[in-house]
Amino acid sequence: MAKVVCVLYDDPVTGFPPKYARDDIPAITEYADGQTAPTPSSIDFTPGALLGSVSGELGLRKFLEDAGHELVVTSDKDGADSVLDRELPDADIVISQPFWPAYMTAERIDKAKNLKMIVTAGIGSDHTDLQAAMDKGVTVAEVTFCNSISVAEHVVMMILSQVRNYLPSYGWVVKGGWNIADCVERSYDLEGMNVGTVAAGRIGLAVLRRLKPFEVKLHYYDKHRLPKDVEEELGLTFHPDVESMVKVCDVVTINCPLHPETEHLFDDEMIGKMKRGSYLINTARGKIADRDAVVRALESGQLAGYAGDVWFPQPAPKDHPWRTMPHHGMTPHISGTSLSAQTRYAAGTREILESYFAGTPIRDEYLIVEGGKLAGVGAHSYTAGNATKGSEEAEEFRKSG
């Protein structure tokens, strides 16, 4: 029997919800590219419930305990005395989410002598040292596409909120004001602007499709060029590198994975190549943008705004400069953990576990590392190496929390 350690974010400060704003959610059975939504044998939760926090347990307890497995669920993940670290030595499987990641460093993987698999309940496995997982023969899996549209919707929302200066305008209402001039002095129309995405995978392409009705000029960079018919359908301009794209764009949205090649891609030099007064939207990973370079660009006016929901480390320290920099629209990492998305990534996590325990193949689209090498979607999206460096900063947040 296996020991499963599941790291999830804390419950709401008012307690686990006794009821929800809606009675149901739409049932999604297939994604835009034809991939089916998660198909576990069954689920032990109500779709639309809060599954991603500690009390929600991803709806896994009954399934695992009925089969004789042990489930440990915690939000305490940082530092040598954390519950995660105490439970690691005999853990067979570790599950966490990008929103509250268990940073599976080489040291932690080495400590977990029984570790067979690391699962991301969601999309993005950069909080795992993939090279260490390959070296130790640990399988890494994630629930690909489960929340891609959730993130794409969040991107569009953030683009509009930045360009239209929505957040400061809302602030004047809350303060009891009617400060029209203050609201509109930084407000523009998105129509006619040049908008580009760094990467046009599932999320990036979904963003482009959702932006087309806004009558904008669409651009993209990706290592893998889209089919000609897709480019023609959306009126896309392909760029062979990021630099050539950012020079012509009013809005740039980052939708690529984090790995050593993309870490700090948007540094002072790259941001300096962007149009003055452009907007940068980042729902990919915090380390793709250099923390202090973003602050400098907002203070100087090189960037008109920066919005996103990804930080490094996560949770972000209370003194993280992105909390207080000017003209930002930051949120906690929530874009991919709507209640709708949680239904899919909880079901996908169970599907992965069912395959693992049955000894049947895990879907290729869920695999990141298997058999000591990048596999499945991981071979397409990632490169070997470690992007977890610096995660010890999370310990400082724990101390000050």
Catalogue the active-site residues.
Answer: 147, 285, 314, 333
Question: CA 150 to CA 342: how far, in whole Å?
Answer: 10
Q: Using CA atoms in the order 258, 365, 221, 252, what is the torsion angle rounded to 10 degrees?
A: -60
Residue with tokens 């893998």: 224
Angle at 155 between CA 362 and CA 256, to 5 degrees: 50
Angle at 244 between CA 224 and CA 186, to 5 degrees: 115
8 A C-beta contact, residue 236 and residue 218? yes
8 A C-beta contact, residue 198 and residue 254? yes
Cβ neighbours of 354 (radius 10 Å): 17
Question: CA 103 to CA 392: how far, in whole Å?
Answer: 9
